[in-house]
Amino acid sequence: MAILNAFTFTATSTEPLPWDATGTRERGTVEATIGNDTCRVEAVRYENGKIISWAFTGRYHTGTKAWPATVCLWGFEGMETVCYGRDHHSNRCHKTGISFA
Beta bridge partners, 68, equal 57
* Predicted local distance difference test score (pLDDT) of residue 27: 95
> What residues does each domain of the chain span?
4-100
Q: What is the mean pLDDT of the chain?
A: 84
Share of the chain above pLDDT 70, in %: 86
Q: What is the 3-state secondary structure (H, E, C) of the chain?
A: CCCEEEEEEEEEEEEEECCEEEEEEEEEEEEEEECCEEEEEEEEEECCCCEEEEEEEEEECCCCCCEEEEEEECHHHCCEEEEECCCCCCHHHCEEEEEEC
pLDDT in tens, 49-88: 899 999 998 887 777 778 888 889 987 667 888 887 766 5
* Predicted local distance difference test score (pLDDT) of residue 88: 56
The one-letter amino acid code at 84 reads Y
Compute φ and ψ for 18, nearest 5 degrees. -65, -25
* Predicted local distance difference test score (pLDDT) of residue 94: 65
